[in-house]
Structure 1
């Protein structure tokens, strides 16, 4: 595919008096262009990791765009206009620190009449998708469904769904929907007979429903491939075939594991064939297991995780969701989340992906920001991001670094700029106009909203959302941690303090944020990249690495081993570039924002401590 044309590097203004401790000598690197991120080749799966065309490990971080697709007010599109999509994309990059999105699509709107794909809908969706690609944000589309379809629900129902079109519901003879005593909308999955029977019909291709869906999916993917430029299509990572699959009803004697093997996996094989036929043969399918396979409430758990699918990569990615149902229930978890809260849950995700020989992505995670359990959100979300970064708790990370595990990709639910400003007729009922929150089943999880001037603003602590993370690693990641110092009310949450055995590092970090990456180099010439949050302005960022140590890293040149540069896409976000010229060598880089003009002596002492520590714990 044609590579993106290089843009002129915007030179960063660096403080004239910055302090530098030299690294092991200048490294020769490839010229810096946007192609170091959108490099002219699709993101692929190799050795159980996402890999770019430069051979670097890639971590995808971002959000779901957006739950607006579940609603009717914008006819199943994430945005009311392309202008809003561009506004959202810029904010997602600049405020939320994201480099990727899970982009929701609606089967109901893609195929409103059986066998008739609505190309106007596909065109509008593709135009909105293009806004994110042009902002340097990778995309993986998702045909979304919850509770199978809104057309199962009565106008006066307490709940609603999304997904299948009206004609698909009318094809079946389903009972009147009722969830009985349901406190949470998700209980409809296992308690609402209409939802259960309709879901069962889809998986068993009753009335040709699954065939129709697959045909529409193929036409959708073909349309996207044909109407994006080659450069833009590079930024499309893959496709999520089906959101949160569940049997609905198991056949007599069938277990959840057998259902995955005999029903779900054959569906994914069919979807994979449709991807190939649509021109997506170089992109993986982001396949989800039974949604209850990794539930953290024991009575919800069902055996699964695609255990019988064998080795998945490189044509599949293990794609799962995680919500703390104990915390959301308000019953099974009374207090707040703490250090290492989800290390075990996300460790299970890592282990399952490793066994399947493919990367993992947690394509949904989040917590309510309103209601009687919203007070848990700051700690729950911090603990989830901590578990994405490492399988170790903060208290054990410095002493058990080698067991940190791969950095997981993830997409937070959700990024909806219309939060609190909706006008949704629930189930088409003009007497039930929803305006608050996400306007869907009383949910309120969006990390963003528009202020009164129409400007996107965060609804959560920016220190939590806009994070240091290794977006591309030239080699193999050994370990990574980030202490965001996010707040729970007036309390600063510090779960990973620098140990007293590294006094100069602790002094350098102070009370600020810091990230620390250890990686083993390969023979590639492209640099390792760390996203720099807005809280790390170049002029007051400190880097301590075996490649070089400095305060206020300079602008990138071909021979600068430690440097700062803009992220591609023109949104104003930035990245730290670390260039090595060797293979098989253990490297480290600490990036911090707590010190002001640290002395050369302090930088040298901190580097000596980290060099000794890395040799002992990361080797």
Structure 2
């Protein structure tokens, strides 16, 4: 039986053959959220939560309501090293305690030293904007001009338009005043503290480390390009960070490296993607972000996102990781939930999750499933239980206390909030967020899709209907949600796992697979080919387990909450259709 009492089934992840894999050799997909933008704020002194109790509440909700099995956990350089050369061990201990709350809930964690616009301390107390990241002493070392963004409609324009931000970024990457050296020393002390503060079992749930959020040159020197900046300055920094990880006892965990933040933008693209770093291999993970800046602008994209909107963008991520000899993770993606473009969010987010699941759009998926590619790991921005309840004096200005939204540069992207009773509640459609995904595959994924039937207002969005050429499958699914996973078995001893959303109670779930076909699958046992079990961590979330005993065989499993109590004849007919479809479209 599965060791359900152990977080993550007691295994650490590594990178092999372009995938995350666990100790049993299963291919693992990570889904979840960023925790939390609260780290950017002063009100909780650079921590995501005011208390460990709140961290536990957030972790339980993230698992049970949001369907996540991983978090990117934000840390602050400013609070980790408020005095140069001296780490604040109280801050690091509090951060470790909050990380532990997620690990104990069965959620994998990768910390991130977060920065935006380099530092809050670049900004005046009456500024329109603010930043986060570097401590006050680091800013005071530079003779930076008074910050000004000029005519800016979005806070991100400060990255390329604000002279103070550009100069400070430039100094960091050129190690002016020894800034980068100080950061690396602080990072090593932080990682050592985290490792020592966690048990061996808990530390197994730490995926790796994201060294630096959204790196950008600030200013290119004469003749320099994005690509040569990545080659000459960014990549050497990652190599140094890798060495610090090894020295801190993280040698068996990958460093999750981000390219130039504009590498995969859909407004301003820059050549790069760590093209000159060679084969990254198993000690590095290609880590990037994606936001639809055209949709966010409200000007460059009219109307909503559609089926297949981002399959090319996310296909680029898959291709770059494969060429680099590693796996990929999209550690940030999202769309504002308030403001003039908020109406696009239901379709934009659906299209992003669709592109994480497969590189084939819904209208083509059933006829071309073999082109799906690997299922991408990703963490949505963001998961902030304090949404709308902040008390943040912006840039320490007591006359400018922010309470609305995410309380940072007018952002409003949190998928969660606390209701009037203090209970966590989703701010987005649960059908969109709590999804079926192949959390662990015993073998190699060949194709995967999930039709979430999420809503845009009163409209149900169905981008991947079952084709009429499979009438029994279409009847079985009806108007319900469904996922279809196709994989080649690897001969491992552990079962394949699919996360089961709350909308898939066992009594209403039907599984059609070559392994077994069953309505209302039973509790999992070692002899059950298809069964349901709790996910580790005690949060009430569940998983579907599919057991094969062979190697090199193509298996499929359709999971749906459609037909109420399908007849044996319908189940048999659906199985026959899927078997023929898999043989024709996937092969042996």
Match of 1:431 in 2: 399
Q: C-alpha separation between the residues in 2 aligned to 1:37 and 1:118?
A: 29
Match of 1:179 in 2: 149
1:254 counterpart (224, 245, 248): 224
Match of 1:573 in 2: 541
* Aligned-pair CA distance for 1:34: 2.8
Q: C-alpha separation between the residues in 2 aligned to 1:37 and 1:126?
A: 16
Per-residue deviation, residues 198-217 of structure 1 (Å, max 9, x unmatched): 00000000000000000000
Q: C-alpha separation between the residues in 2 aligned to 1:108 and 1:159?
A: 18
8 Å CA contact 1:39, 1:52 repeated in 2: no
Match of 1:240 in 2: 210
3-state DSSP class of the match of 2:281? coil
Match of 2:274 in 1: 306
8 Å CA contact 1:36, 1:526 repeated in 2: no
Match of 2:176 in 1: 206
The alignment status of 1:143 with 2:133, answered yes or no, reads: no
Q: C-alpha separation between the residues in 1 aligned to 2:72 and 2:391?
A: 24
Match of 1:165 in 2: 135
8 Å CA contact 2:7, 2:202 repeated in 1: no
8 Å CA contact 1:36, 1:54 repeated in 2: no
Structure 1: gaps (5+ residues):
1-30
* Aligned-pair CA distance for 1:41: 3.7
3-state DSSP class of the match of 2:82? coil
3-state DSSP class of the match of 1:221? helix
Q: C-alpha separation between the residues in 1 aligned to 2:22 and 2:586?
A: 25
3-state DSSP class of the match of 1:515? strand
Q: C-alpha separation between the residues in 2 aligned to 1:134 and 1:98?
A: 14
Q: C-alpha separation between the residues in 2 aligned to 1:490 and 1:309?
A: 48
Return the structure number with greater relative CO, CA threshold 8 A, min gap 6.
Answer: 1
TM-score relative to the length of structure 2? 0.99
8 Å CA contact 2:476, 2:562 repeated in 1: yes
3-state DSSP class of the match of 2:241? helix
8 Å CA contact 2:149, 2:157 repeated in 1: yes
3-state DSSP class of the match of 2:551? coil
8 Å CA contact 1:134, 1:232 repeated in 2: yes
Q: C-alpha separation between the residues in 1 aligned to 2:5 and 2:226?
A: 44
* Aligned-pair CA distance for 1:36: 8.2
Match of 2:126 in 1: 156
Alignment of 1:506-521 (within 5 A): 506-521=474-489
2:26 counterpart (53, 56, 71): 56
Q: How many residues align?
A: 587
Match of 1:413 in 2: 381
Q: C-alpha separation between the residues in 2 aligned to 1:511 and 1:42?
A: 39
Q: C-alpha separation between the residues in 1 aligned to 2:252 and 2:55?
A: 27
Match of 1:225 in 2: 195
The alignment status of 1:595 with 2:556, answered yes or no, reads: no
Relative distance call for 1:476 and 1:324 in structure 2 (3 A) is same
Cα RMSD of the aligned pairs, angstroms, is 0.7
Per-residue deviation, residues 569-617 of structure 1 (Å, max 9, x unmatched): 0000000000000000000000000111100000000000000000111
Q: C-alpha separation between the residues in 1 aligned to 2:493 and 2:213?
A: 38
Match of 2:244 in 1: 274
3-state DSSP class of the match of 1:516? strand
8 Å CA contact 2:4, 2:534 repeated in 1: no
Moved over 3 A (4+): none
Alignment of 1:542-553 (within 5 A): 542-553=510-521
2:43 counterpart (73, 94, 110): 73
3-state DSSP class of the match of 1:314? helix
8 Å CA contact 2:306, 2:351 repeated in 1: yes
8 Å CA contact 1:214, 1:271 repeated in 2: yes
Per-residue deviation, residues 484-540 of structure 1 (Å, max 9, x unmatched): 000000000000000000000000000000000000001101000000000000111
Match of 2:329 in 1: 361
Q: C-alpha separation between the residues in 1 aligned to 2:246 and 2:10?
A: 20
Q: C-alpha separation between the residues in 2 aligned to 1:64 and 1:557?
A: 34
Alignment of 1:116-135 (within 5 A): 116-135=86-105
8 Å CA contact 2:9, 2:536 repeated in 1: no
Q: C-alpha separation between the residues in 2 aligned to 1:280 and 1:38?
A: 18
* Aligned-pair CA distance for 1:39: 4.0
Relative distance call for 1:176 and 1:140 in structure 2 (3 A) is same
The alignment status of 1:346 with 2:306, answered yes or no, reads: no
3-state DSSP class of the match of 1:387? helix
Alignment of 1:455-494 (within 5 A): 455-494=423-462
